[in-house]
Structure formats: C-alpha cells, structure tokens
C-alpha cells in the first residue's frame, strides 16, 4: 500500500540490521523514531484493511509484497514477543497480530504464505507467544481471532495449528460473547 511494506522492509531488514536469532530474545532496542514509524505504518495498514479488506489482501498478497509482509511479521513477532514486554513493544505486537489476521482471513493463498518460509513461521510464532496471550481474556481477544483467521477454511494451516495448541480452545473462544466484539470474528462469521 503506497510503498509502506517496502519502507518497513528497508527500515527493519536492511543490510546492517541485527540478524534474528530464534534462540534468543533481541539484544538490541530499536530507536524510538523507528518504533513510531512502524507503529504509524501498521496502524495505517490495519485501517485500510478495515475499510477495504479485499483490496488490502490483494495488494499485500501480491508475490513480492507478500514475502516482505511475511519477513516483517516474522521479525516483529520475534522482536516484540519477549516475556518482559514494554508497553511500546506490546502495542506493536498487537498491531502485527491484527495485521496478520486481516491478511489471512478467508484468503487461502495468504494463509499459506503465513505457514511457509524459514522456521519458525509466522503461524508457529503466533502459537508460541507468551502464555498470557492464551489465558488472559484481554489478550486472547487480540490473538485468538487472528489464529482462527489463519486457519479458517484451510486444512493445511489447521493441521499446523493442531500441532501447536488445542483447536477446541479456539472454538470455545469463537462461541463466547467476548468474541463477538472482534472485527475479525465478524468477518469470519459473515
């Protein structure tokens, strides 16, 4: 969307960027100015998804852009999901989770993109978020709609999800009154 993915990709994954080590939490802190740019860009993308979901999915699902999105999501999920989340990182994490949900919801090709690539994939990273995202209602309201969006109508991604966690837990959430307030759940149920 208007070069935002390329800008984020260049900002986060430039040649001198610290490499992602999946065995360790990041040993660096992104500059505040970078955090603000990422936050604003993710907010813009989520707003576009709310307004024009099909356009959003078609543009971000295009061949080169979808790979950028996958790399950005992987990097930000890794960077933001340590156990001791700062409020800035938690806000970014929530925006990334929401973005992934909009990208995947009812879109088979985009769902497959999230389970491809180097491990851990975006889908596996979502399943490996801190335990609080699976037990605190205010955090399950953020994560569970995206997990459901990633596997809705897609047996391949559903199998991966079944390996990582209990799908029954997600189904129970989907039937709960709290789930009805989620925009992603409204899209899934439409």
Residues 6+ apart with CB under 8 A from 111: 104, 150, 151, 152, 154, 156, 157
Which tens digit of pLDDT belongs to each residue from 160-188?
A: 999 999 899 999 999 999 999 999 999 99
Q: 3-class SS at 63?
A: helix
Nearest to residue 14, comparing CAs of 68, 66, 62? 68
Q: Can you say whether residue 3 is alpha, beta or left, with left for phi > 0 and alpha for psi between -120 and 50 degrees?
A: left
What percentage of the chain exceeds 70 in pLDDT?
Answer: 89
Give the pTM.
Answer: 0.92
């Amino acid at each position: 969307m208007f070069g935002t993915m390329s800008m984020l990709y260049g900002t986060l994954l430039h040649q001198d960027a610290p490499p992602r080590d999946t065995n360790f939490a990041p040993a660096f802190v992104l500059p505040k100015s970078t955090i603000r740019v990422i936050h604003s860009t993710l907010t813009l993308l989520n707003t576009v998804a709310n307004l024009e979901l099909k356009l959003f999915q078609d543009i971000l699902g295009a061949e080169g852009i979808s790979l950028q999105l996958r790399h950005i999501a992987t990097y930000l999920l890794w960077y933001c999901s340590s156990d001791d989340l700062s409020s800035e990182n938690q806000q970014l994490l929530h925006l990334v989770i929401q973005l992934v949900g909009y990208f995947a919801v009812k879109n088979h090709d985009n769902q497959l993109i999230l389970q491809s690539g180097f491990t851990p994939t975006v889908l596996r990273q979502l399943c490996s978020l801190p335990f609080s995202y699976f037990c605190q209602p205010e955090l399950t309201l953020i994560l569970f709609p995206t997990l459901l969006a990633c596997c809705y109508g897609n047996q391949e991604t559903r199998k991966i999800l079944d390996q990582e966690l209990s799908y029954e837990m997600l189904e129970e959430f989907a039937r709960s009154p709290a789930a009805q307030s989620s925009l992603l759940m409204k899209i899934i149920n439409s």
